[in-house]
Structure 1
């Protein structure tokens, strides 16, 4: 029996080696190299590069097929122009019944012809403080965005979580248009970095996000922010992390590393082209995604550890006391198909007692907030309307209670 027990792990190891692909060996070597003394920190970026390459290889077939189909579709340019022209109309319709008619009637920003990423330096005028530490790890840093003439009363706070397929978690460039818009309206925004795979497998990502939220609850007043109103938002992987953080506030899971008494609850969530289901393998695209999670992000098999993938799926964590949600997604997203957002919103509306808004931008693809000026400014305006409405409602409720 003892011999058989020793054989089990050996056989499993052999099977893993037989199933391994070249990318798996590259990732394993990079992770091992990063742990070496002295030279390890210089080798660490290789793991991220390998992981991003692995992620890109998974999505290239869908991207190429979608691009080719668009090129071969007669009149596609006219269709795209019509879809962009509907951005304001669709955005206002998504908020009707959530935001007041007067707020919707305010003049909306004009679309820009240049990609928003080119305006990064202009948006940074509201960057107030850079590289503030929010945790013990050297990667636990955030930027504070706010107006210099912030009013004396505490400002509502947004914690922004960048995307990057859970293998890249840098705050550089991402969210600039949104945070600049909110800062202009008197918000304090915190844009965070967090640990990523393959060197830091799941659940380090969500632990760091919760650490940042707890830090904001305890410290954001030093920058003029209101500890009592913390919203979260994020794009792509950041959308997933925002949703999961919002649905697991003050849940002991993922919070073992936080100081006792930490508050990780949030008052509103905005998910922008996020991935909300880590379990479903019903399509070829979703099966490839789960394979990517198994090999790179989680480094566990979904068949052997199904609870890990289920617990990390926001769609499986929806509950009646969920905070208000706004979900934003593009109808032509070839990286995370729009069905992810639709099914998540449907589940939220079935279960949650809070506001649930859904903005589906016609024709928008993945990363539109960096590449598509026609949609980015209206999207930021719509998110601002939603968050301001939630904040006003919360303030009004607090006054009535008093």
Structure 2
């Protein structure tokens, strides 16, 4: 877990590192040619050249996988039946030459958000020292009069991060689609334990529902999105819409969402299938969840860990529960949360649909990404651009399905 950042950085900046190494090798060869003896004469030189060649080869492999990520997103959407091959090719990873050229710039592609940003208080918590829970509302210049809403829940291991911890590329991509982007703060460890994090997220949904006029948004159309710990909370928001025990004080509020975008979130805190065993930090992960998120031991209070696991709620197969469509994205080389965790959750979703007979107009989509580590989309890279395209396509499909369903209901009510 401690070294995942450097692995992610290497994978997402591999194309830039290749260029840097090629320039370095060329410079070294030029200096070597200026010597009296322009040959590699020592075993140290030979060893360095061999090691460098191996490094560059590995970086090239990572760069090729990064640039090829769009194909995996396309295949996932085609296999799920939501897009044709031609449609997927035109909508995911189809960039202009200027767009591709911009990927070679290691600096942020934009420091200015083309629209308005305001901060609102979506709730108050604390008995002795009440304080506001805040939400940043980003209204892109492409937003219409009453745009749909994407509620973003940041990651950070339920301990770190804030509403400002958002991938700027995702913010711009969603904004260009005409969606209102809302990023929230929520209470974190060590000051609270589960389910306070989830209650705050649901309180944000309830606030959006009741604030359509002040936000000038269509808050009947809310999609929740999260990454890592935020993906865990976003999944819980999506699968517990009918569980009012997570809505103390606002039980009558509608906290359902149209869909969920879950990027490398965790889904089974009990590790019932033993997938975390393949990661050498498995014990650290378990102890971390016990100490930071749950504030109790798994062996002491297993039911609490079950209730904090999105997988558990899906496995209940409650006939009355409505589970919205999911877009799940996870790197195969994730060194923090094993991809098998998301695989089990996605398979449980499919079984849930079969058992309950509740099939959504938009099917669930699961995208396993080769060579991708945890938090891969925090850096602008070809893989990140493809991810943003996929999220945009998924939002388009969800919105189109909701609009069609609403039109059918209006027609039926008039008959």
Shorter-chain TM band: 0.7 to 0.9
User: Which one of the candidate residues 126, 138, 159 is aligned to 1:145?
Assistant: 138
Give the structure 2 partner of residue 51 of structure 1: none
Aligned residues: 338
Work out which of the two has the higher radius of gyration on C-alpha atoms and give 1 or 2: 2
Q: How does 1:380-399 map to 2 (within 5 A)?
A: 380-399=388-407
Q: How does 1:135-214 map to 2 (within 5 A)?
A: 135-137=123-125, 138-148=131-141, 150-152=143-145, 154-214=146-206
Q: Deviations over 1:308-339 (max 9, x none)?
A: 10111111111463100000111211111222
Q: Shift of residue 91 of structure 1? A: 1.2
Question: 1: CA distance between counterparts of 2:341 and 2:270?
Answer: 12
CA contact (8 A) 2:8 2:372 kept: no
Judged with a 3 Å threshold, the aligned counterparts in structure 2 of structure 1 residues 347 and 113 are, in CA distance, closer, same or farther, namely farther
Give the structure 2 partner of residue 91 of structure 1: 73
Is there any run of 5+ residues in structure 2 with no aligned partner, and where? 15-50, 126-130, 354-358, 411-415
Judged with a 3 Å threshold, the aligned counterparts in structure 2 of structure 1 residues 102 and 144 are, in CA distance, closer, same or farther, namely farther
Question: 2: CA distance between counterparts of 1:299 and 1:390?
Answer: 37
Q: Deviations over 1:184-213 (max 9, x none)?
A: 111111111111001122211101000001
Corresponding position: 1:60 with 2:8: no
Give the structure 2 partner of residue 43 of structure 1: none
Judged with a 3 Å threshold, the aligned counterparts in structure 2 of structure 1 residues 235 and 243 are, in CA distance, closer, same or farther, namely same
Question: 2: CA distance between counterparts of 1:242 and 1:65?
Answer: 25
Q: Deviations over 1:57-101 (max 9, x none)?
A: xx2377899999x99977422321221121111111111121356
Aligned alpha-carbon RMSD (Å): 2.7
Question: 2: CA distance between counterparts of 1:85 and 1:325?
Answer: 25
Corresponding position: 1:132 with 2:113: no
Q: How does 1:272-311 map to 2 (within 5 A)?
A: 272-280=263-271, 282=274, 283=277, 285-311=281-307
Question: 2: CA distance between counterparts of 1:373 and 1:194?
Answer: 29
Question: 2: CA distance between counterparts of 1:249 and 1:361?
Answer: 29
TM-score, normalising length: structure 2: 0.75
Judged with a 3 Å threshold, the aligned counterparts in structure 2 of structure 1 residues 306 and 235 are, in CA distance, closer, same or farther, namely same
Q: Shift of residue 391 of structure 1? A: 1.0
CA contact (8 A) 2:235 2:310 kept: yes
Is there any run of 5+ residues in structure 1 with no aligned partner, and where? 1-58
CA contact (8 A) 2:228 2:263 kept: yes
Give the structure 2 partner of residue 239 of structure 1: 231
